[in-house]
Structure 1
């Protein structure tokens, strides 16, 4: 079946990962990984508000919530080549983004970087109380894009998320870098 919709992950594809850099500033690699998992999973699922998250993180490092949020934002780096690629794809495909994130924080990144109009549909895990790799979130973005599983392409930097999308019958590409993505899209006849 022909691909009609392309769904992008955000962090690690369009924008740099943020949390690992922040945690890495204060903690060992192993401790940082544990803390990221413990603190972000509930926020991604909308069980904990982001204001509460930044408060908890601030108490971990003896800081203020506003300062922690500002530090997080200092790690934002937009992948300009991925943005340009999306702009090239947009005239021919519905473009969606599906991300695990606190909603206000994510939407502020989109707004500050003029990325909101890049997407036809946006699904943020905390808004829907479900996060990747749960198949429910994939179905939510597919429904919003009015796309069948086999009519969509999913792009993510997490192999577990790719596996779930493939199990649903959605063509998927593991993102490593934009050049590799362009090559994979060419092989699929999308570019």
Structure 2
């Protein structure tokens, strides 16, 4: 059996840029993307907790409530729920996500997607983020598969390059409408057709 490794944001979760900056700018209109991502990049590898991330940006008061208000703006690509059971008949499934530990756990629990995966790797848990090849190697170890047995799906081309460097086959989930010379799909239906047809 081969393995399929999926990215989270821009693939399973809608809106590849996320609603984070608009959410923050409602309270702090002068904060730029660089201001926000200075702290987010630290939280993304577990150097800041999710509540400390909001605190660093200037939020005060009930930070748990503020965080939940943001996370509840995040939507899932509902076609995943048709795709995943179908693909599990043919592939081991893994999730590989750059995300804050707390956010990933909340969203995975909320949308009840944990049980679809044989392995889950989140940057905030392991202190490494894509495109560092070490996070891909960790995922391979969890799966017990070699890179050549894996197909990696992401909406970011530089993450696909990292996976390819290890010998993985790759597919761009093109939710950003970018130019790409390799294998590309626009949705989970196309991905299912590609993966099952090619088995």
Cα distance in 1, alignment partners of residues 30 and 95 from structure 2? 29
* Cα shift at 1:111: 1.2
Cα distance 1:116–1:181, how it changes in 2: closer, same or farther (>3 A)?
A: closer
Rounded to whole Å, the distance in 2 between the matches of 1:107 and 1:18 is 18
| Equivalent position of 2:164 in the other structure | 166
Distance 1:15 1:187, change over 3 A: closer
1:73 aligns with 2:71: yes
Q: CA RMSD in A?
A: 2.6
Measure, in 2, the Cα distance between the counterparts of 1:64 and 1:19. Answer: 25
Structure 1 CA distance, aligned partners of 2:32 and 2:61? 17
Q: Are the equivalent residues in 2 in contact too, given 1:162–1:173 (CA < 8 A)?
A: yes
1:35-88, CA deviations, whole angstroms, 9 ceiling, x for partnerless residues?
34212111111111222112223x1x5664223302221221111112321121
Point out the structure with the larger helix share.
Answer: 1
Q: Does 1:7 align with 2:5?
A: yes
Q: Which residue of 1 aligns with 2:38?
A: 38
Q: Distance in 2 between matches of 1:174 and 1:30?
A: 34
Give the alignment of 1:74-89 within 5 angstroms. 74-89=72-87
User: CA, structure 1 residues 149+72, in 2 after alignment: closer, same or farther (shift >3 Å)?
Assistant: same
The SS at the match of 1:95 is: strand
Shift of residue 138, structure 1, vs aligned partner:
0.5
Distance 1:81 1:34, change over 3 A: same
**Which whole-Å deviations, capped at 9, do the CAs of 1:14-33 have from their partners, x for residues lacking one?**
11248741312417999643
Q: 1:133: Cα distance to partner? A: 0.8
Whole-angstrom CA distance in 2 between matches of 1:183 and 1:19: 22
For residues 139 and 29 of structure 1, the distance between their equivalents in structure 2, rounded to whole angstroms, comes to 40
Q: Indicate if the aligned counterparts of 1:96 and 1:122 stay in contact, CA closer than 8 A.
A: yes
Q: TM-score, normalised by structure 2?
A: 0.82
Structure-2 residue corresponding to 1:183: 190
Distance 1:172 1:50, change over 3 A: same
- The size of the alignment, in residue pairs, is 187
Contact 1:18 1:75 in 2 (8 A): no
